[in-house]
Chains A and B, each alone.
Chain A
Amino acid sequence: EPEVTQTPSHQVTQMGQEVILRCVPISNHLYFYWYRQILGQKVEFLVSFYNNEISEKSEIFDDQFSVERPDGSNFTLKIRSTKLEDSAMYFCASRSGQLTDTQYFGPGTRLTVL
């Protein structure tokens, strides 16, 4: 069964450093998402992406964040200058857009900012 994959599973970085989190959505999907989950809290929406542009973003997704689909398979989230409060699980999700709204999630990347 096709699934969303994410790399790395765990990323440790120093405050102020740039990080890039990578995702490979399900191959025939057209809509892509990033969410984050701070430890012990609920999952929060960051951004949605369709047709090579951002379609919706939350208040959390400020100028420090950016997304890109550099090729036909990868979808990345970049944080330019990480802060301590960026420490969280980051989940990528995708959906086909074909008569369904179901978003399928990847296993997540745990980001730890020191």
Chain B
Amino acid sequence: GESVGLHLPTLSVQEGDNSIINCAYSNSASDYFIWYKQESGKGPQFIIDIRSNMDKRQGQRVTVLLNKTVKHLSLQIAATQPGDSAVYFCAEISGGGADGLTFGKGTHLIIQP
């Protein structure tokens, strides 16, 4: 079936460096994508979203890029901090009236001092 997935289960970066977390999706009908951050023992926390009519959106220290041609989504975190250590999930809504989010498996981002 169609699903959202992530390329790498674990990503380790030095504090202060930039990080890029990738996500591949297979449902071409998806029209809304979200990145969530989940810290241990907590619920998913909204980071940033993007609609399919856009290819880039920026927030505070975060940028989401959407490449519909290759069905690829990425989250860039600038100047990483220890508090960025968490599992990051991409999620999608497939459109057509669907409302539930389909989550990827998650990437564990580790910020090393």
Residues of A within 8 A of B (CB): 4, 31, 33, 35, 41-48, 50, 55-56, 58, 91, 101-108
Which of these binds chain A: B54-62, B75-83, B92-100?
B92-100
B100 near A43 with CB under 8 A, answer: no
A101 near B43 with CB under 8 A, answer: no
A-B contact count (CB 8 A): 55
Chain A contacts of B89 at CB under 8 A? 42-43
Indicate with 1 or 0, residue by residue over B36-74, a CB within 8 angstroms of chain A CB atoms: 100000111110010000000000000000000000000
* Pick from A43, A45, A91, A102: contact of B46, CB under 8 Å: A102
In the complex, which residue of chain B has the Cβ closest to the Cβ of A9? B41
Residues of B within 8 A of A (CB): 32, 34, 36, 42-46, 49, 89, 91, 93, 98-106
* Pick from B32, B42, B104, B105: contact of A101, CB under 8 Å: B32
Given A43-B89, A56-B98, A101-B49, A107 and B43 touching (CB < 8 A)? yes
Please list 12 pairs of residues, one from A and one from B, whose beta carbons are closer than 8 Å in the complex, sorted by A's number: A33-B100, A41-B105, A42-B103, A43-B103, A45-B100, A47-B100, A56-B100, A101-B49, A102-B46, A102-B49, A105-B36, A106-B43
